[in-house]
A and B are shown apart, each in its own frame.
Chain A
Amino acid sequence: MFSSQLSEQSKILLRADNLTIRFGGLVAVANFSLTVPSNQIVGLIGPNGAGKTTVFNLMTGVYAPNVGSVFLEDVELTARGAHVISRAGVARTFQNIRLFAGMSVLDNVLAALSWQRRGTNLASLLALPTIKTREYEMMQHALEMLSFVGLADYADWEATSLPYGLQRKLEIARALMTRPRVLLLDEPAAGMNPTEKDELAGLVREIVRQHGLGVLLIEHDMKFVMNLCAQLTVLDHGEVIAVGTPAEIQKNPKVIEAYLGADSAQVSGADGSSPGGAQR
């Protein structure tokens, strides 16, 4: 398979070991482990409320785990500040889109470069000529990124006035501006029509091909996930119930049970149909 060809030249980038987090008495995620290699798209699936987004929040420093650790290659990221993790090379998008509402599409993307401009604030305040080139380069970079995701014509739109599908693409563009090694996508295809989903799948493949990123993907659309991912991890009630290739996962009785309930395991297990059918 194409993906296994890729994995030969890839190395492990992001590694989560044994992550556990409790909210009061509720264990939201328990003993969660996962690796994201470079040049590969890894999927994280599971029924609603399984703890998928909590895993993202643990990996990106929104929550600190009670137990366990997160590494990007040799750098430990466990419970570091979210901005430190982002600077280290882990970028993400959000399930409930989090764009900067009062800002233009271009400014949303430029915001990702803002901290890299820290040292230049005084020069740019005084409009020194030296800064003009740098500002011009950043603007160029931002516009290139917008055209890469297909938003070139919308640069001066207010971000939240974009159609839903384009807002999701803008979040991806914004995350890519941080030059990540690993990109975490939280339900990027939610609310998209089939054409948009196909475009998005192409875009994600292109991101991996061009930048050699590792991508971790949460998604409910099973067709989308099965087509895109080389490896899947299935989460249910905060625990990993299966790990494997899409083909293996489709046949796994535990997975079918989690999605369809215990009785369905024997019925639909044989034909290997998409467990995502239960979502609708």
Chain B
Amino acid sequence: MMEQLLEYSILPLTLFGITAIQALGLQLILGGAGLLSLGHAAFYAVGGYSAAAFTVYAAPYLGLSQPLLLMLISLLVGAGSALLAGLIVAVPCLRLQGDYLAMATLGFAEIIGTALKNIDAVGGTRGFTGIPKLSSLPWVFSVLALVWWALARFNRTGLGLAIRATRDDEIAARSLGINTYATKLSAFLLGSAIAGLAGALYVHALQFISPDEADFSRSVVIVLAVVIGGMTSLFGSVLGALILVAVPEVLRFAPDVIREQRMIYFALIVIFVMLFSPKGLQSLVLRLARRHQKNESSSLGRKLGGAG
């Protein structure tokens, strides 16, 4: 029984880890730089397909077969290809203000989705199969931990500071010598590359990817994770990813009527979060934790007082 449960939980946990990595990438773009990207899943799909194509087609040709080395290179391929795709979208679009970038990324995601459906070498509409199993739950969580740690460090670097300054006030940032265009571009590219990492992990864990992964609805899920968790915090994005993956898993046991409406629940959660905790669920969790700590220490104090 226990064994079955463990085995069953591997897939949702893997998906949680991958969604969390995607969300961390989008957190940098949306929460860090204040740019709305509605095509985050497309960069993830570009990374996934490129990494898969590399291991399926290029690796045998190059004579690479050592799994660890192959996985490391495919992570680089995934991140690199997503970064390149990000460059193509961002260079013309970041000169535009706010909503235009959202529309451009949305259009880009549509193009990627349609293109993938029509490339037979990567399976077309049937999806890309026959990808070797190179990554697993430990891989996913290692990369998640590494990305989380690196982004926490990154926020304290000069570029991290410049990104937040640019988000808060672009005119003031420029008056301090910050090249705001280059700054926004770096945030967008870095966030896209992180999505590409998640893509490379996904294809080698599930040994399959379909064009649906580039779909708009997938991008919305990542935006929701970042917004529900709390845009300004890395912890919030991971928390948001947990909720977005956990809710459908839990609903699996609910009757069809309830399960099919899951996007409505997410909408309700978003409204709830915006009303009661605009900084996301992470601030709610932190507040509860603090209150709990205070209660515990005060009850401890009472006990000590009673003894004395």
Q: Which residues of A are in contact with B by a Cβ distance under 8 Å? A: 60-62, 81-83, 86-87, 91-92, 94, 98-103, 107, 110-118, 120-121, 124-127, 174-175, 177-178
> Which residue on chain B has the smallest CB distance to residue A87?
B177
Give chain A residues whose Cβ lies under 8 Å from the Cβ of B173: 100, 111
Known: A86-B177, A115-B178. A125 touches B157 (CB 8 A): yes
B94 to chain A, nearest CB (A): 15
Asked whether, in the complex, the Cβ of A114 is within 8 Å of the Cβ of B175, the reply is no
**Residue with the highest number of chain B CB atoms closer than 10 Å, among A91, A113, A115:** A115
Closest 3 CB pairs of A and B: A117-B158, A82-B174, A100-B168
Q: If A82-B171, A100-B165, A102-B232 touch, does A121 touch B176 (CB 8 Å cutoff)?
A: no
A111-B165, A125-B150 are known contacts. Are A100 and B171 too (CB-CB below 8 A)? no
Are B169 and A100 in contact, CB atoms less than 8 angstroms apart?
yes
Q: Is the CB of A114 within 8 A of B162?
A: yes
Task: Check B165 against A103 for contact (C-beta < 8 Å).
Answer: yes
B303 on the A face (CB < 8 A)? no
Q: With the chains together, A174 CA to B174 CA distance in Å?
A: 12
14 intermolecular pairs with C-beta atoms under 8 Å apart: A83-B175, A86-B176, A91-B176, A98-B172, A100-B173, A103-B165, A110-B161, A115-B176, A117-B157, A121-B154, A121-B157, A124-B156, A124-B157, A177-B176
Please pick, from B150, B153, B169, B178, the residue contacting A114 in the complex, using a CB distance under 8 A. Answer: B178
Nearest chain-A residue to B162 (Cβ)? A114
A88 to chain B, nearest CB (A): 9
- Further contacts, 18 of them, CB under 8 A, given A111-B176, A178-B177: A60-B175, A91-B175, A98-B171, A98-B172, A99-B168, A100-B164, A102-B232, A103-B168, A112-B176, A113-B158, A115-B158, A117-B159, A118-B158, A120-B158, A121-B158, A121-B159, A125-B157, A126-B153
CB distance A115 to B177 under 8 Å?
A: yes
Bound-state CA distance A60–B172 (Å) is 11
Q: Which residues of chain A are within 8 angstroms of B153 by Cβ–Cβ distance? A: 124-127
Among B162, B167, B169, B172, contact of A115 (Cβ-Cβ < 8 Å): B162
Summarize A's interface: helix, strand, loop or mixed: helix
Chain A: minimal CB distance from B38 (Å): 23
Contact surface of B with A, Cβ cutoff 8 Å: 150, 153-154, 156-159, 161-162, 164-165, 167-169, 171-180, 232
In the assembled complex, which residues on chain A have CB atoms less than 8 Å from the CB atom of B178? 83, 111, 114-115
Q: Complex formed: what's the CA distance from A101 to B171 in Å?
A: 13
Q: Which residue of A lies closest to B34 (CB)?
A: A102
Contacts of A102 in B (CB 8 A): 164, 167-168, 232
CA distance A142 to B178 in the complex (A): 17
B176 and A98: CB pair below 8 A?
A: no
CB distance from A179 to the nearest CB of B (A): 10
| Residues of chain B within 8 A of A107, CB atoms compared | 161, 164
Contact B162 A81 (CB under 8 A): no
Q: Is the CB of A82 within 8 A of B158?
A: no
Most-contacted residue by chain A among B154, B161, B162, B178 (CB, 10 A): B161
Shortest CB-to-CB span from A27 to chain B, Å, is 23
Contact flag A118-B159 (CB < 8 Å), given A101-B168, A102-B168, A127-B153: yes
Nearest CB in chain B to that of A171: its residue: B172
Q: How far is the CA of A102 from the CA of B172 in the complex (A)?
A: 14
Question: A98 contacts which of B158, B162, B164, B169 (Cβ < 8 Å)?
Answer: B169
Residue of B nearest to A94 (CB): B172
- Do A114 and B171 form a contact, CB below 8 Å, given A83-B177, A83-B180, A178-B177? no
